[in-house]
Structure 1
Amino acid sequence: MTQVAENTRAPHMMSVYRGQDRQFAEHPSEPGQGVRVAPFLNHEQGATHLSVALVELQPGATVPGHRHPFEESFFVLEGNPLVAIADKRYALKPHDFGLVPFAAGHAWNNPSDTPARFLRVHTPHPRPIGGRGTAGVFSAPEIAVPVDGVPVDELDPVKPFAGHFEQSDMAPPGSISMPGYHGTNIQNVQIRMMVDDLLGSRHHTMFIVQFTPNPGAIPQTAKEHIHPFDEVYYLLSGQTKTFCDGETNHAAAGDLIFAPVGASHGFTPISKEPVCWVELQAPLPPASDAFLFHNDWAGHTNIG
């Protein structure tokens, strides 16, 4: 599958964006000191409902209190940053995740001597508000840059907004079972929900998906299907082969796969190690009929 230029991608096609091609630079979406952003996906790539970027906090970096007219979520990849969300302060570590609700004030700090990096999601997509700005950033002076924080404990009901992923959280591999679909078209899969409506999200989901390689598995572990929402996959480990209307590609750890609304897509692992990715869906999937699998309709006569 020929990789589509990032600003000329065809509609209703899946695209792969290489992590090695990301370039970090100062960006208005994170108005701080020592912070850089590497955009992965926004409206220029055909995303209707979300934007995705990597954010890097250098040692001593700070982002002052601010808020957005949209939701933000994050997944920590490296380092130990501090984040303040409303009246809560968290000391984060790799594989912590969190939700910044609509209009909630938040601020960042990296007091450690090593850089911190996290995957960041904005949804709906930022746009000028009242003809002002491009990144949807508004001052929240009541939120101080955090100088300390508590470890994430998602079992504590008085510490909302954040959680932590561990491999031990995963149920044994099986068929997919999640909001919007239950069936056998996606097999040998493990899913761990993170950001969803239970955490307070109203516009998107973030979760971990893992496929364990199986030489005897079906050719497409996840059969080709279509969604009425944008879907993104950021690979944490392993390699996968992708399928899209007869065309194929591949993606590896650090790459991002984007399947916009209406794009056909399917996967199978091609590495010895498990394929593990952070998956994003925006807007929230409907309670049913969120997956349209080609093979489900193969036995029906198409007359138009």
Structure 2
Amino acid sequence: MHSFREITDSLYETPASHAGRSESFRRADLIGREQGSVHIGFRIGELAPGGRIDTCVHSYEKGIFIMEGEVELNREGRCFRLGRFDYALVPIGVAYAIRNTSGASARWVEKCAPRPKEPGEWADSFFTAGSEWSEALSVDPLNPACRMTGHFDWDQLHPHQRIDKYMWGWTKKMLMDRKFGSEQFDMFIIEFAEGGQTNEHDHPFEEAYLCLEGEGTFTAEGEEYILKPGTIGWSGVGSPHGVFMNRGAACRWLEIMTPQPPAQHSNRRLSTWDDIRDRLAE
């Protein structure tokens, strides 16, 4: 099972759960039960200047990655200023609030796991009394107070790698994993160079791909899509998929894996197993 869609403005709306508990907030719910996902809740939040989200608590883990603009995150009384390509983790059961004190709108990815409940189901989130806002810290990896926050720049990517005859021209930068503090998902940036590829494979976990720059061809279960900015893809457990840089450009995207991959055998490449089968049949 898989999903691929364009992200249009018509997908943004204020969630009913946030009525009276937010101001100038909209959200696009992109991956969830409707798309077939069991594990992933993938959203993009938007907050206009002067907007806010009141203090809330979730029974799921949330990763935040700022795509544009700037917000302040109040995580149990410790406040952070998050700008473009900053990211932060909100662990399960941790109270947090968000506000936009800048003069421009902000948008950010929200990765939620376990997948949030649907409206009308058991309430897995609730609003609570807020913490006081203090002077916001800028993200600083050398400041212990900034634990479970980070910043990404393109120059953090390592040189492209060649894994084997089926996968080459790629590199990645891990953002959130178990070492970072996440228990439910991995989040990272992938770049494939022009001409690179990873042919069809599947996983024992779900993946989501939000394109940031460039173009590539995304294949899933015999269907073909164009991965470009403003599109998002998702593949379920056991869903064969591949990426091919055959459109004259490199491609960069934000990727999510949920649950976190096993220590071994997280990638089952169909061609490799075809080779093994043919060799054993000789």
SS of structure 2 residue aligned to 1:295 = helix
The aligned residue for residue 58 of structure 2 is 68
Q: 1:246 to 1:126 in 2, by over 3 A?
A: closer
Once the two structures are TM-superposed, the CA of residue 42 in structure 1 deviates from its matched residue by: 0.7
1:152 is aligned to 2:134: no
Instruction: Please give the TM-score of this superposition, normalised by the length of structure 1.
Output: 0.85
From 214, 224, 229, the counterpart of 2:200:
224
| Contact residue 204 and residue 280 of structure 1 kept, 8 A | yes
Output aligned runs, 1:42-121, within 5 Å.
42-121=32-111
Query: Can you give the 5+ residue segments of structure 2 that lack an aligned partner in the other structure?
Result: none
From 192, 217, 220, the counterpart of 1:211:
192
Between the aligned partners of 1:235 and 1:29, the Cα distance in structure 2 is: 28
Amino acid at match of 1:20: T
The aligned residue for residue 33 of structure 1 is 23
From 115, 136, 139, the counterpart of 2:127:
139
Between the aligned partners of 2:248 and 2:85, the Cα distance in structure 1 is: 22
Percent identity reads: 26
SS of structure 2 residue aligned to 1:158 = helix
SS of structure 1 residue aligned to 2:168 = coil
Once the two structures are TM-superposed, the CA of residue 128 in structure 1 deviates from its matched residue by: 6.9
Between the aligned partners of 1:105 and 1:137, the Cα distance in structure 2 is: 10
1:19 is aligned to 2:7: yes
The aligned residue for residue 231 of structure 2 is 255
Between the aligned partners of 2:142 and 2:246, the Cα distance in structure 1 is: 36
1:194 is aligned to 2:157: no
Query: Can you give the 5+ residue segments of structure 1 that lack an aligned partner in the other structure?
Result: 1-11, 177-182
Once the two structures are TM-superposed, the CA of residue 99 in structure 1 deviates from its matched residue by: 0.8
Between the aligned partners of 1:78 and 1:68, the Cα distance in structure 2 is: 24
Amino acid at match of 1:280: I
Q: 1:132 to 1:297 in 2, by over 3 A?
A: closer
| Contact residue 57 and residue 93 of structure 2 kept, 8 A | yes
Once the two structures are TM-superposed, the CA of residue 129 in structure 1 deviates from its matched residue by: 11
Once the two structures are TM-superposed, the CA of residue 268 in structure 1 deviates from its matched residue by: 1.1
Between the aligned partners of 2:171 and 2:97, the Cα distance in structure 1 is: 33
Moved more, 50-59 or 29-38: 29-38
Once the two structures are TM-superposed, the CA of residue 80 in structure 1 deviates from its matched residue by: 1.0
Once the two structures are TM-superposed, the CA of residue 184 in structure 1 deviates from its matched residue by: 6.0
Higher strand share: 2
SS of structure 2 residue aligned to 1:168 = helix
Amino acid at match of 2:4: V
